[in-house]
Amino acid sequence: MTHQVVSVKLYASIFVALLVLTITTVAVSKLDLGEFNFIAAMTIAVIKGTLVAAFFMDLRRATSLTKLIAAAGLFWLAILLALVMSDYGSRGFLPGVHWL
């Protein structure tokens, strides 16, 4: 109501983009790229999540305060993952992590 109505075309293109990215992520998982498999899968997931949040949830036109709240959620999630992993890593529980 406070915003202009978005065209069906834009929503449809986001929908198609999300489907294409889903097919891409499945196709990439069939290739053996070593560590890059995980990086590629997560990168595609982040792109898809961003598209849904920005266009379907209309975050791109939301107020700064709403954007700040959304960013704070991700920041806290990053703290959770980073501190948990650095704890386990520094205790030598993670076989793949040697640099901690």
Partner 1 sequence: MAESTVIHAVQEPELRHHFDDSAQQLHSATLGMWVFLITEVMFFGGMFGAYTVYRNVYPDAFASTSQFMNLTIGAINTAVLIFSSFTMVMAVRSAQLGQKKALIAFLVLTLILGCVFLTLKYVEYHEKWVDHHIPGPWFQYADARYFHQAQILFFLYFAMTGMHAIHMIVGAGMLVTVIVMAARNRFSSAWYTPVEMIGLYWHFVDIIWIFLFPLLYLVGHTK
64 binds partner 1, rule: CB under 8 A: no
20 binds partner 1, rule: CB under 8 A: no
Name the phi and psi angles at 97, rounded to 5.
-100, 110
Using CA of residue 45, residue 47, residue 51, residue 57, what is the dihedral sign?
positive
Neighbours of 20 (CB within 10 A): 10
x/- mask, partner 1, residues 40-59, rule CB under 8 A, reads -xx-xx--xx--xx-xxx--
Neighbours of 73 (CB within 10 A): 10
> 60: Cβ–Cβ under 8 A, 6 or more apart, which residues?
54
38 binds partner 1, rule: CB under 8 A: yes
Q: Which residues bind partner 1 (CB under 8 A)?
A: 1-2, 5-6, 8, 11-12, 14-15, 18-19, 22, 25-26, 29-33, 37-38, 41-42, 44-45, 48-49, 52-53, 55-57, 62-63, 65-66, 69-70, 72-74, 76-77, 80-81, 84-85, 88-89, 93-97
